[in-house]
Structure formats: C-alpha cells, structure tokens
Chains A and B, each alone.
Chain A
Amino acid sequence: AQSVTQPDIHITVSEGASLELRCNYSYGATPYLFWYVQSPGQGLQLLLKYFSGDTLVQGIKGFEAEFKRSQSSFNLRKPSVHWSDAAEYFCAVGVRNNNDMRFGAGTRLTVKP
C-alpha cells in the first residue's frame, strides 16, 4: 500500500517569509497527490492536487506544489506567508482505480508577526 511522510511536525515562519512544507511518498507507480489544510476546529480543505501532466501545480490561497518523481516528493510552497495561513497541513497520496487514500501525520504551521 502507498504511504506518505511529512518529516516536519511543526514549522514556524515569520509573516511575509517564504514557506516550504515537505512531503515524501512511497508507491510503485505514479500516485495521485494532494495537499489539504485544516484550520483549528475546522474540517479539511483541499489546497491543490496532482493527477498527471504539468508537475508544478497551482492551488488556492497562493500555494503551489511540485511533483518530483526522482525524489518521490510533493513539497508545498508559498512565496509569502500570511498570518491566516497558520494551520495544520496534510499531504495525502491516493492511487488510480483505488479509493484508499493515505494521509501524512501533518505539519503544524505557526506564523510569527
């Protein structure tokens, strides 16, 4: 079965600084890849997804992610973080023809003023 690792449990950045959240997956073929965000006390909101095609994917709220097959990675980036970006971020991996999606443990983002 597929699996996903988010190496960073907690990251703190200053408002206006750039952000990169790491995600590595394990799967033999090309997976479906997702980033979700969860604000405190809320459900999960999809930021972006990769199914095929262009490996640089644009999402909502100014986020983007790049699929790198050689590194089995799908890192999330944002050039300038806003205080409202403070939340928990989850990377997830799914597979074609299978509804089983696995989530990483999450990375908690704190934004300093």
Chain B
Amino acid sequence: DTAVSQTPKYLVTQMGNDKSIKCEQNLGHDTMYWYKQDSKKFLKIMFSYNNKELIINETVPNRFSPKSPDKAHLNLHINSLELGDSAVYFCASSQDAGTQYFGPGTRLLVL
C-alpha cells in the first residue's frame, strides 16, 4: 500500500540511450511532480502536472518529457541520455498546494 511508488529503483545505462521512469500514486492527489537531486543533494523541480496538465516546466532540456496518462501516473521519458543526467529522480504528489509526498527515488547512472 505504498503511497508514491517509482520504478525502477536503480537504472544503469549507456550514453545516448532512451529510458523511462514510472511513477504512480494511490493517494488520490491531483498534482504530481518530478524532481532531480544532484550529487550535492540539491533538489530541483523539473515538472509538475495538475489533472494531466503541465503547470510547471522549469528550464530542463527538451530531451526530458513527462507523460501523464491519468492523474495517478506521471512518467518521465529521457532521450539521448548524457553523463550529466546521472542523478536521483524523485516523484512526488500533492493535493492542491499542500504537502508533497515523495517516492523512494530512482537512481540513474549514465556510463
């Protein structure tokens, strides 16, 4: 009965590959987010989706594309992976502007 789940937990891949990370929340929240945490632990918001509509799109490369098939899912697709994409990616969800609940993270390593 995990509230916010992400798959995979670990992802090791070669430069230039395309990969997806999946996120699901069973809290009934209407907003979901993707964050990137770099090696210095700095957390930066990448995207936010409210009722399947993009409402925040920070200046991330267009190789990153969020896709929300329904309000319980927000997937992150990354094209042409680069070394600098190595990080931990966190999914989160909230109801309106309330508390955000985080998933366990996906540790991406690009070789």
A interface residues (Cβ-Cβ under 8 A, vs B): 32, 34, 36, 38, 42-46, 49, 88, 90, 94-103, 105-106, 108
Contact = CB atoms under 8 A, between A and B. Distances in A.
Interface of B: 31, 33, 40-45, 48, 50, 55-56, 90, 92, 94, 96-105
B99 A49 contact: yes
Interface of A is mostly: strand
B102 A100 contact: no
A49 B43 CA distance: 18
Contacts, number: 54
B65 to A, nearest CB: 19
Given A43-B90, A43-B103, A95-B97, A101 B45 contact: yes
Given A90-B43, A105-B42, A106-B41, A99 B101 contact: no
10 contacts: A32-B98, A36-B102, A38-B41, A42-B104, A43-B90, A46-B99, A99-B33, A99-B48, A100-B48, A105-B41
